[in-house]
Structure 1
Amino acid sequence: MSQQTFVLVVVINLLGVAGIIVWHLQGRGRPTERLIAQIVFFALMTVALVFAKIMPFHFDAPHLDGSGPAVVAAKILWWTHLSWATIGFVRIYIVLDGRPREARLIQDLLVAVVYLGVLLSVMAFVFGVPIGTLVATSGVLAIILGLALQNTLGDVFSGIALTLGRPYVIGDWILLADGTEGRVVASNWRSTYLLTSGHNQVVLPNSVLAKQSLTNVSRPDETHQIMLPVRIVPSLPPKLVAEVMREALDNCNGVVQDPPPSVSLVDIDKTAIALQLLFRVKSPADRSPARNEVIDMVFRHCMAHGLEIARPAGGQVVSEAAPRDVLPSRSRSIIEAVPMFSRFTPQERDFLAEHASIVAFDADQVIVEEGSVSEKLRVVAAGVVVLSMGGEDLVRLAPGDCLGLRGFFVGKPELHAATARTRVNVLDIPRDIFARMMIERPSLSDDIASWIKETNAAAAIHGGALVQSGMPREVLREEMRRAFGAA
């Protein structure tokens, strides 16, 4: 070997060692810089090999001048850098493709193939090992291992098929034919991990997952449709009953309004009008809260419109309805639906119902203006009301919810504007009625103050609390008594 060739071999070894040091110093957090360094060092080593007239794809007999170990080391370093550069390209492609997590299995497989190919190449072109004989010998061993690891290999190849087919990605919510459902949180060579709505982790072997029919709830988007059957006593025409149900769905804050919910009339007989309520939620995890809210709204709107929930089909009558002359008045029924009035005595609720009046508002009409101080406590009797702040809609109120609480009880300007979304009936209760009741029963202010403190946190979520969060109940009670002239 000439002096020039020996110098080039030494340069190749130095470049290879320097490339390894730079590769480790850059760390795993800089894949792009790593790839650039690998390409640069690999290109310099290739140029040096060409000038040294050393062919890495050809086995050369050992040199008699003692330079053989240096040539072997140069070839090994060149093949090592070739494998790293190839793996770097694979990882950069997966990152640019936007799916580094779900493509981890394919990445690991390609890395294994690259390392195996480089190992065989080094054995054949550097050390002159007959690869054909080695492969033939290892084939028998591969058959034995394949039979012993049949189930494991089935999981591995099923995982590869699932990764290539991409029926789901990490983060999707899937539903299996056996009823198992959950969000995909991880996937590896053997198993796929689901996080269920009960916050439990289900581990599914890939071979089992590949054999089942699978519904990807997250595609094309994660909105999920729910069907709720309802039976209503036919006291109104079916068209009007359907309108009440649409109003109840429109009143729900946890229901997706675009596309809008729908109501279908299914059946009618002497005992009931059967309907199906179809609505969507933002994700499968919201199904239970949304269903609870819809059921609550259906009940409220049925009460507001004088509708009665029918008994199940084929159900037996266990009690007769109350006589008409003992049924509560409309105002009394509305008051019974307000949580605050549950602290009042029956006589006080009768007194409120006697002096309250029902006022109607058309759609888009302002009921309570933002910044106003209301002299009346207003209770939604029927319809849908939208609370807004600064022109932005915050929450929808249903029958039984109160308006004007902040101005009515503590004399401060309202933080929200209340606007009728549909035609709305409101039960108005004058301030002087509450003042008379507080004078007759001073402890009533304690009951109301306790309710306001309990409601305060929920009110703060929608743009501001009714009173200062740190205000003691005793201070609030005294302010209310002064506001109502009962101090």
Structure 2
Amino acid sequence: MSALRRLFPPAAALALLATAVAYKPWLHAHLLHVVGPVLSDGFDTVVASAAWLVAAWGGSRIVDALATGTAERPARIPRLLSDLLRFFLYGFAVLAILAFVLDQPVTGLLATSGVAIAVLGFALRNMIADIFAGIALNIEHPYRIGDWIELSPGVAGRVDEINWRATRLITTEGTAIIVPNGIVAGSRFTNVSRPTPAFRVAVPVLLDQEVPVERAKRVLLSGLMCADGVLASPRPDVVVVEATANGVAYQARFWMEDGARVAIVRDGVLTAILGNLARAGIELAHQKREFRPRRSATNPPGTLRRRLLQQLDLFAAFDEAEIAELALALRKRRIPAGTAAVRQGEPGQSLFVIAEGVFDVQLDQGAVPVRLNRLSPGDLFGEMSLLTGQPRSASVIAGTDAVVYELDKDHVDPVLRRRPELARLLAELMAQRQTRNEEERVRQGRAGAAPPPVASQDLLARLRGFFKL
């Protein structure tokens, strides 16, 4: 309907001109007495000239209809090409008026214009090349408004405008880059928004050869899966790209959709990876020419376990000796990807501290489990079963191959009997932890997916009853 509305004015004007031609004798007879013979004889010239101009007007309206897209139908021809077609339509109409209406020779005019155009074209050859490159880009559509393109390393942005001469990009810093169309068309560039919005980013990491490849991949992959902005599908992965004298080069590869957030997501990925490497006791590789005391890839017994416990707020009230005692009691367990560390409803009397890998906390409600949370290295789960003996409240499934340390009730019991006051502190810490978890579920729109938090006094009563304090 909009296209018909565009064509209505020129069609009405042509109908009016056709009516004037049909009634030409009558109009001549009446105009002769009003305007005189000279102006009356010019009636045919005016009508013919107007007909050519109205025809060009109608053609430009058709071009506009083809160049204007809608949500249901994209534009059939680019905007730059439509501007060029309108220019030729009106230019042809003017030449037709000169040749067929006014009986003027246009051959000399065209020859003179050709020389002038050649001189002007030589002077403006770069600009003309940019214009035709812009037309070619709009015909081929290698990128569109809103796409993110990278012209060279470090030069990338969102396409904001494609005009006659140049393409304007808006960078992640909010600045504009104006690139002539000739440069874009004559160089290689990357469109990260095509053929799909998702694109892959790789983060290089160099580790010592002493770190087993399987372990390195597990630690790096857990960092990828815990970072915000990383798509779950396609699944991120870690590959070995090179083995050098300085170490083994890995690429942590992940997929994302928003080109404006590449730097932010890379920052989150690297932060998570470095944190996981630190918790696992793994250092980045260094230049082997440097004289530097080598730290073993395997930590002395108890060092890593003690560090993991010290970082947990649940054990903040325990002193160094008690932390060391519990660290020696931890049992190392390997959990393959897709395997449940604990199942909802099962009895249990232990907690788990994640050393490597990631876990998904799932609540079995109906046919499809509800994922409550994702746990990363340094997190723990199962503390309610350890301290109160209640069945597991949710299933915890390994998202990657993982390593956890298990702490049993029998290992905590001697410490609580020596210091009964720790029971109250543990109950308060557990209540605070449950409250934070509930607030996070509300923030994510998952309120009510898990049992409500329990008051610290109720937890203290359960804890004392379970440990018979």
Q: Confirm or deny a common fold (TM above 0.5).
A: yes
Once the two structures are TM-superposed, the CA of residue 201 in structure 1 deviates from its matched residue by 1.7
Aligned position for 1:184:
159
Given candidates 178, 183, 204, the residue that maps to 1:228 is 204
Q: TM-score, normalised by structure 1?
A: 0.67
Equivalent runs, 1:238-387 vs 2, <5 Å: 238=213, 240-241=214-215, 244=218, 247-248=221-222, 251-252=225-226, 254=230, 257-258=233-234, 261-264=237-240, 266-267=242-243, 274-283=248-257, 284-296=259-271, 298-299=273-274, 308-319=282-293, 321=295, 328-338=302-312, 346=320, 349-350=323-324, 353=327, 361=335, 363-367=337-341, 378-387=352-361
Match of 2:31 in 1: none
> What is the alpha-carbon root mean square deviation over aligned residues?
5.1
1:204 is aligned to 2:179? yes
**1:103 aligned residue:** 78
- Output the CA distance in 2 between the equivalents of 1:259 and 1:325: 31
Residues 218, 356 of structure 2: 8 Å contact kept: no
Aligned counterpart for 2:5 among listed residues 34, 37, 45: 34
How far did residue 281 of structure 1 move? 2.0
Match in the other structure for 2:63: 90
Contact 1:183 1:196 in 2 (8 A): yes
1:386–1:393 Cα contact (<8 Å) kept = yes
- Distance in 2 between residues matched to 1:323 and 1:176, nearest whole Å: 41
Q: Gaps spanning 5+ residues in structure 2: where?
A: 26-34, 465-469
Which amino acid in the other structure matches residue 90 of structure 1?
V
Cα contact 2:150–2:156 (8 A) shared by 1 = yes
Q: Which moved more, 1:151-160 or 1:411-420?
A: 411-420
- Residue 193 of structure 1 deviates from its aligned partner by 0.8
Shift, 1:274, TM fit: 0.9
Instruction: Tell me the secondary structure at the aligned position of residue 194 of structure 1.
Output: strand
Residues 38 and 84 in structure 1, CA contact (< 8 A), matched pair in contact too: no
- Cα shift at 1:163: 2.8
2:392 and 2:55 mapped to 1: Cα distance? 71
**What is the 5 A alignment of 1:133-144?**
133-138=108-113, 142=117
Provide closer, same or farther for how the CA distance between residues 440 and 335 of structure 1 changes in structure 2, counting only shifts above 3 A.
closer
Aligned-pair CA distance for 1:420:
2.5
Read off the aligned partner of 1:185 and give its amino acid letter: D
Counterpart Cα distance in 2 of 1:438 and 1:127: 111
Whether the 8 Å contact between 2:224 and 2:273 is mirrored in structure 1 is no
Separation in structure 2 between the aligned mates of residue 242 and residue 357 of structure 1, nearest angstrom = 21
Decide whether the 8 Å contact of 1:266 with 1:275 is kept in 2. yes
Residue 333 to residue 265, structure 1, CA distance change in 2 (3 Å): farther
Query: Partners in 2 of 1:94 and 1:438 — Cα distance?
Result: 79
Please tell me the residue identity of whatever aligns with 1:391. P
- Give the whole-Å Cα distance in 2 for the aligned partners of 1:420 and 1:455: 20
Q: What is the TM-score with the length of structure 2 in the denominator?
A: 0.70
Matching residue of 2:132: 157
Select between 106-115 and 85-94 the one with higher mean Cα deviation: 85-94
In structure 2, what is the equivalent of residue 439 of structure 1?
421
Question: Quick one: distance in 1 between partners of 2:297 and 2:138?
Answer: 67
- Same amino acid, percent of matched pairs: 23
Specify the SS of the correspondent of 2:455: helix
Name the residue aligned to 1:171: 146
Q: How far, CA to CA, are the matches of 2:271 and 2:165 in structure 1?
A: 45
What displacement does 1:125 show? 4.0
CA distance in 1, matches of 2:10, 2:87: 20
